[in-house]
């Protein structure tokens, strides 16, 4: 059995910073950058692989972007290990709660009940929120959301906005819109700020810059906020970012947040963070705008306990987020607005096979466990939502553009097993494949190959004959028949040698005569 030291040495260096032999230790304590000399950068860091090429409405080539990510071996190793570590922590937390499965069933039932009475609970929330002094707005789509927020800011003469992480605003292309109308947006979540400074989208719903090595962050910060390019010490980088951003936060005209849960009976909403940045965004400026998807509603405060117990454990393997803040109305002398956004959710609610995807609480557990996501990085999906949840949400926004995504899965079902609200993710991924084939959004060559495979697999005699002749055929077929430009499968895989004996033959020989 390997020792802890040996195990640490096997980990990617980004994941064992605390065991760093170059760290400066004084009185048994690791010194941060302000107290000690920073650790020098390793020579020639691997360049960060970039995400999928997005060309208008053309289908995203996830496999191509994933291949580039896998070729960047340091990034791929770190990403895989970091996310698997989160998955293992999640498992440990789960085993500490005997009623875990009961909680999942309850959470699923709460969300399904709410979604099937959505109009009722949204109306209740609006009435209660208004009586709490909150201005409530409704946005049909992304464009309407952006315009509403802009008009609120314009009415207040606001020119700068501090903002906490919100996938909904990513969905709405909010930062680009604000830039086009001359309003400066400053992200306050560290990972999201890194992504903003690097002009990249978040690659994960909980840890937006998880695909970046420390050296990537050092490069981004040296380019944008003037840090030492040779210093990738995480303490130094975090502190430098804090010092650069804090004055912007203190002087911002308005603050914006998302919302994890909206409580109908109280007209309040709840935000869960680990950095406390949402509290800064909400409380430093006098104007607070919260943009929230309509599916985030729950009926009563007592339901919150069920979902909060599951959220952080599923996301990061920690029992609670550091901050779980309840917003009940504007503070004295301030103003609070909530923008409730549809942006395709009502339509999704009407999709018989896919409506339960609206139960998602954006914990990211399905991403952390997915073997495809862990090895290809979130930006390879070229969409706001990546990983298993992305595969079932993205096609609802644009079936053509995201038509390849449901095929980026091995359908192993691990995503479904870890989902705290019991979404049947892998079954929905499979169902999307069928829908996309019926909608003619799948390349003809793939369709023809699937049809041929289906014909063989559905006839036992044909299947056995194909298997029996496979080895001979593979040995004599010219290589280009399988490995050619038209066959995407062959671009990334080698056909393994068939087994000497098939399971069918073994079964016949070993058990065939037994009753
Ligand atoms: S689908 Fe489930 S596991 Fe995935 S992010 Fe949503 S709630 Fe979490």
User: What pLDDT, on the 0 to 100 scale, is given for residue 36?
Assistant: 41
83 CB neighbour count, 10 Å cutoff: 24
Q: Which of 425, 426, 427 to mutate to test the pocket of ligand 1 (most atoms within 8 A of CB)?
A: 425
Q: pLDDT grade, residue 34 (50/70/90)?
A: very low
In order of 42, 258, 264, 375, 417, the CA distances from 316 in angstroms are 28, 19, 27, 19, 16
Q: pLDDT grade, residue 489 (50/70/90)?
A: confident
The ligand 1 atom at the shortest distance from the C-alpha of residue 359 is 7
State how far the Cα of 130 lies from the Cα of 132, in Å rounded to an integer: 5
State how far the Cα of 325 lies from the Cα of 379, in Å rounded to an integer: 30
36 or 297: which leads in pLDDT: 297
Per residue in 420-438, pLDDT (tens digit) is 999 999 999 999 999 999 8
The ligand 1 atom at the shortest distance from the C-alpha of residue 357 is 1
Per residue in 246-255, pLDDT (tens digit) is 999 999 999 9
Tokens of 11: 């980990």
| Residue located via tokens 């004996």 | 501
The ligand 1 atom at the shortest distance from the C-alpha of residue 387 is 4
CB-CB contact of 205 with 367 (8 Å) = yes
Name the residue with the closest Cα to ligand 1, atom 6: 360
Helix (H), strand (E) at residue 137: strand 135-139
Percentage of the chain with pLDDT > 90?
73
Give the mean pLDDT of 337-357. 97
CA of 315 to the centre of ligand 1 (A): 9
CA of 392 to the centre of ligand 1 (A): 11
User: What pLDDT, on the 0 to 100 scale, is given for residue 3?
Assistant: 53
- pTM (predicted TM-score): 0.85
CA of 419 to the centre of ligand 1 (A): 5
The ligand 1 atom at the shortest distance from the C-alpha of residue 315 is 8
User: What pLDDT, on the 0 to 100 scale, is given for residue 335?
Assistant: 97
H helix intervals, 225-293:
234-250, 277-283
The ligand 1 atom at the shortest distance from the C-alpha of residue 388 is 4
Per residue in 390-425, pLDDT (tens digit) is 999 999 999 999 999 999 999 999 999 999 999 999
In sequence order, what are the beta bridge partners of 449? none
> Of the segments 46-60, 104-118, 220-234, which one has the largest average pLDDT value?
104-118
Per residue in 303-318, pLDDT (tens digit) is 999 999 999 999 999 9
Percentage of the chain with pLDDT > 70?
90
Residue 22's SS3 state is coil
H helix intervals, 172-270:
174-180, 190-197, 214-224, 234-250
Name the residue with the closest Cα to ligand 1, atom 7: 360
CA of 422 to the centre of ligand 1 (A): 8
Give the mean pLDDT of 166-177. 95
Q: Which of 354, 365, 422 to mutate to test the pocket of ligand 1 (most atoms within 8 A of CB)?
A: 365
User: What pLDDT, on the 0 to 100 scale, is given for residue 155?
Assistant: 97
Helix (H), strand (E) at residue 495: none
CA of 505 to the centre of ligand 1 (A): 42
User: What pLDDT, on the 0 to 100 scale, is given for residue 35?
Assistant: 43
CA of 193 to the centre of ligand 1 (A): 23
The span from the first CA to the last CA of the chain, in angstroms, equals 44
In order of 147, 191, 257, 424, 429, the CA distances from 359 in angstroms are 27, 25, 20, 11, 16
CA of 373 to the centre of ligand 1 (A): 14
CB-CB contact of 428 with 354 (8 Å) = yes
User: What pLDDT, on the 0 to 100 scale, is given for residue 30?
Assistant: 52
Per residue in 81-121, pLDDT (tens digit) is 999 999 999 999 999 999 999 999 999 999 999 999 999 99
The ligand 1 atom at the shortest distance from the C-alpha of residue 205 is 5
Name the residue with the closest Cα to ligand 1, atom 8: 363
Give the mean pLDDT of 201-219. 95
Name the residue with the closest Cα to ligand 1, atom 4: 366
Per residue in 15-31, pLDDT (tens digit) is 654 555 555 565 555 54
User: What pLDDT, on the 0 to 100 scale, is given for residue 396?
Assistant: 95
User: What pLDDT, on the 0 to 100 scale, is given for residue 423?
Assistant: 98
Name the residue with the closest Cα to ligand 1, atom 2: 419
Residue 497 has pLDDT above 80, yes or no: no
Q: Which of 388, 391, 394, 413 to mutate to test the pocket of ligand 1 (most atoms within 8 A of CB)?
A: 388
CA of 203 to the centre of ligand 1 (A): 15
Least confident of 69-78, 150-159, 177-186, 446-455: 446-455
Give the mean pLDDT of 214-234. 94
Residue-averaged pLDDT of the chain: 89
User: What pLDDT, on the 0 to 100 scale, is given for residue 506?
Assistant: 87
CA of 162 to the centre of ligand 1 (A): 27
Residue 320 has pLDDT above 80, yes or no: yes
Q: pLDDT grade, residue 453 (50/70/90)?
A: confident
CA of 445 to the centre of ligand 1 (A): 33
User: What pLDDT, on the 0 to 100 scale, is given for residue 515?
Assistant: 56
Q: Pocket residues for ligand 1 (CB within 6 Å)?
A: 314, 360-366, 389, 418-421, 423, 425
Per residue in 262-280, pLDDT (tens digit) is 999 999 999 999 888 889 9
The ligand 1 atom at the shortest distance from the C-alpha of residue 389 is 1
CA of 405 to the centre of ligand 1 (A): 17
CA of 494 to the centre of ligand 1 (A): 33
């Amino acid at each position: 059995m390997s020792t802890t030291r040996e195990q640490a040495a096997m980990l990617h260096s980004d994941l064992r910073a605390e065991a760093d032999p170059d760290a400066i230790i004084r009185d048994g304590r690791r010194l941060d950058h302000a107290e000690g000399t920073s650790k020098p950068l390793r020579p020639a860091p691997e360049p960060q692989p970039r995400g999928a090429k997005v060309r208008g409405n053309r289908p995203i080539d996830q496999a191509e972007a994933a291949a580039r990510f896998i070729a960047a071996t340091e990034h791929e190793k770190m990403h895989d290990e970091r996310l698997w570590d989160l998955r293992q922590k999640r498992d440990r937390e789960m085993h500490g709660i005997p009623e875990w499965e009961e909680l999942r069933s309850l959470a699923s039932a709460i969300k399904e009940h709410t979604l099937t009475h959505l109009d009722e609970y949204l109306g209740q929330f609006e009435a209660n929120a208004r009586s709490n002094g909150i201005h409530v707005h409704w946005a049909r789509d992304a464009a309407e959301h952006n315009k509403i927020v802009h008009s609120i800011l314009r009415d207040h003469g606001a020119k700068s906005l501090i903002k906490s992480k919100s996938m909904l605003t990513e969905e709405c292309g909010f930062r680009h819109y604000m830039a086009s109308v001359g309003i400066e947006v400053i992200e306050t979540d560290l990972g999201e700020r890194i992504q903003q400074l690097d002009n990249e989208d978040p690659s994960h719903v909980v840890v937006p810059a998880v695909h970046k090595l420390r050296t990537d962050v050092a490069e981004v910060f040296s380019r944008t906020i003037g840090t030492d390019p040779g210093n990738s010490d995480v303490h130094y980088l975090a502190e430098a970012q804090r010092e650069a951003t804090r004055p912007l936060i203190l002087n911002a005209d308005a603050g914006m947040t998302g919302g994890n849960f909206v409580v109908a009976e109280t007209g309040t909403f709840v935000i869960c963070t680990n950095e406390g940045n949402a509290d800064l965004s909400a409380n430093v400026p006098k104007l607070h705008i919260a943009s929230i998807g309509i599916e985030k509603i729950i009926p009563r405060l007592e339901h919150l306990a069920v979902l909060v117990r599951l959220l952080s454990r599923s996301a990061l393997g920690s029992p609670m987020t550091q901050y779980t803040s309840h917003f009940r109305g504007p503070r004295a002398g301030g103003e609070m607005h909530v923008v409730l956004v549809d942006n395709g959710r009502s339509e999704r609610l009407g999709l018989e096979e896919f409506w339960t995807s609206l139960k998602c609480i954006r914990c990211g557990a399905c991403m952390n466990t997915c073997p495809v996501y862990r090895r290809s990085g979130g930006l390879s999906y070229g969409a706001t939502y990546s990983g298993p949840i992305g595969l079932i949400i993205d096609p609802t926004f644009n079936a053509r553009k995201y038509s390849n995504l449901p095929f980026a899965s091995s359908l192993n079902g691990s995503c479904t097993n870890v989902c705290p609200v019991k979404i049947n993710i892998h079954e929905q991924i499979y169902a999307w494949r069928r829908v996309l084939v019926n909608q003619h959004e799948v390349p003809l060559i793939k369709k023809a190959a699937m049809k041929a495979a289906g014909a063989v697999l559905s006839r036992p005699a044909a299947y056995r004959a194909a298997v029996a002749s496979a080895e001979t055929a593979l040995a004599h077929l010219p290589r280009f028949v399988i490995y050619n430009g038209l066959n995407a499968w062959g671009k990334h895989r080698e056909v393994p040698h068939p087994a000497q004996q098939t399971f069918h033959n073994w079964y016949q020989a070993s058990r065939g005569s037994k009753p």
